[in-house]
Amino acid sequence: MPTAPVSNLFYQSRQPRPMLDRGEGIYLYDVTGKRYIDGSSGAMVSNIGHSNPRVLEAMRRQMEKATFGYRLHFQSEPTERLASETARRMPAGLDRVFFVSGGSEAVESAMKLARQYAVARGEGTRWKVISRHPSYHGCTLGALAVTGYDPLTVPFAPMMREMPKIPAPTCYLDRDNLDPAARGLKYAEYLRDEILRQGPESVLAFIMEPVGGASTGALVAPDSYYARIREICDEFGILLIYDEVMSGAGRTGAFIAAEHWGIVPDLVVLSKGFAAGYMPLGAAVARSDIVETVLDSGGFLHGFTYAGNPLACVAGLAVLDEIERQDLVANAATMGALLKSRLDGLMETYPFIGDVRGKGLLLAFELVSDRASMRPLPKELNAHSRLVEIAYERGLIVYSRRTRGGYEGDHFLVCPPLIVTETQIDEIMGLLDGALSQFADEIAP
């Protein structure tokens, strides 16, 4: 029996968790030998699966040379190579890469770079970063200021300056008669309205997850939304930041999700799948003129000690290599389409599945009391944690949250590593079906 955890990781519950032993491909094993399918890639991190021997070998070779060289003392070859390799995968013009150690740090860096750019251009009145509700952009106070997830923000409200929020495009909850294109435009116009309400001269940037993550359950807007948001930002000279911490590095079936709509953001934020759990790594990627302007004005007043360390960058390079070698972006698209159709199929058996959504292998389903009204399940059922527990006992890890739109609902992310095969999707679906059927019995009146 595991003992109560004392480490800082277990902050949400005193409930002991199985002790992790090892990982292999899409599987994780605890110390008793029980096997779990990593059906959510951890928190949508382990994109290339666990214990990839080529990545481990690249890291071992680097460790024997140098694990750390302070960025103000040395450039390092892996860091420069990773910057070029990252830029090569970005839309043209986004070619400057600022490395950090995680998603929150990357979001902070993007927002601070944007602010310095505005100041350097004589637009010091611009400081507000508009975001969406719900959304998740990180857990530092600055990143929480743009996060639209009340359970994490409200307790810290006096300590942070909350930024303006517009509704996320939760079109699947709408019951109006608009077609998808009109709905997308409706949600984009909330941005224009908010900019005018705030005063355009005070607005610095708009930050959004192009395919939502944990806070919305893989929310995808209608196509019309993306282009209109870009237009609105351009109209008012507002920088567009795509937070691709979760959707980037191939997960949605494109290297960054922006590609699906041909959008070129001004800044892109990466982490999670970027080094796929082999090392803590993130990046804020920016247009070169933004960086040049900031450098001309005296340099970026920002930086983390571990940023751009050669070991993390070697891990990142090896992960990018692996994504290419195994054609994982294409696999995310094909396996994602297969998994999505199989999840859609579950709606026939389980009337409490109200919606299945997502792109590539960033997929989620949502539970409801009633599909017609999309009313959520009663909170007391605690569905988001109960179904996860049932699946966990059966050896399948999925990721859940209770939040959406203006009110609460339970959604579950099914996001296996991008190396997943058709047979493994069968395996995931078998376990998920069993878990849902047990859950259905438990909630039956």
Which residues bind to ligand PLP, rule: CB under 6 A?
A: 43, 102-104, 107, 136-138, 209, 213-214, 243, 245-246, 271
Q: How far is CA 399 from the centre of its chain?
A: 12
Q: How far is residue 153 from each of residues 133, 139, 158, 240, measured CA to CA in Å?
A: 12, 9, 10, 23
> Judged by CB, which is closer to ligand PLP: 219, or 429?
219
* Nearest residue (beta carbon) to ligand PLP: 103
Q: Are the C-beta atoms of residues 342 and 268 closer than 8 Å to each other? A: no
**Nearer Cβ to ligand PLP (306/352):** 306
Nearest to 393 by CA among 35, 125, 5: 35
- Rounded distance between C-alpha atoms, residue 400 and residue 330, angstroms: 26
Least distance to ligand PLP from the beta carbon of 102, Å?
Answer: 3
CB of 294 to ligand PLP, least distance (A): 22
To ligand PLP, the closest distance from the beta carbon of 276 in angstroms equals: 13
201/204 Cα distance (integer angstroms): 8
Measured from the CB atom, the residue of 23 and 103 that comes closer to ligand PLP is 103
Shortest spacing between CB 275 and ligand PLP, in angstroms: 11
Closer residue to ligand PLP in complex, CB, 245/420:
245
**Separation between Cα atoms, residue 328 and residue 318, nearest integer Å:** 13
C-alpha to C-alpha distance for 214 and 386, rounded to whole angstroms: 17
User: Taking the C-alpha atoms of 383, 388, 394 and 395 in order, what is their torsion angle to the nearest 10 degrees?
Assistant: 170
CB closer to ligand PLP out of 137 and 183: 137
Give the single-character DSSP code of 2: P
What is the DSSP code string of 375-394? EEPPGGG-HHHHHHHHHHHH
> How far is Cα of residue 325 from the mean position of the Cα atoms in its chain?
23
Q: How far is the CB of 226 from ligand PLP (least distance, A)?
A: 16
Give min distance, CB of 424 to ligand PLP, in A: 24
Whether the CB-CB separation of 231 and 224 falls below 8 Å is answered with: no
Residue 35 burial (C-beta neighbours within 10 Å; 0-12, 13-18, 19+): exposed
**Phi-psi label, residue 303: left if phi above 0, alpha if psi -120 to 50, beta otherwise:** left
Residue 36 or 136 with smaller CB distance to ligand PLP: 136
Least distance (Å) between residue 306 CB and ligand PLP:
13
The residue (of 416 and 439) whose beta carbon lies closer to ligand PLP is 416
Give least dist CB 329 to ligand PLP, A. Answer: 19
The single residue listed with the structure tokens 């297969």 is 338
- With respect to ligand PLP, which residue has the nearer C-beta, 383 or 415? 415
For residues 137 and 260, which CB has a smaller minimum distance to ligand PLP in the complex?
A: 137
Minimum CB separation of residue 212 from ligand PLP in Å reads: 8
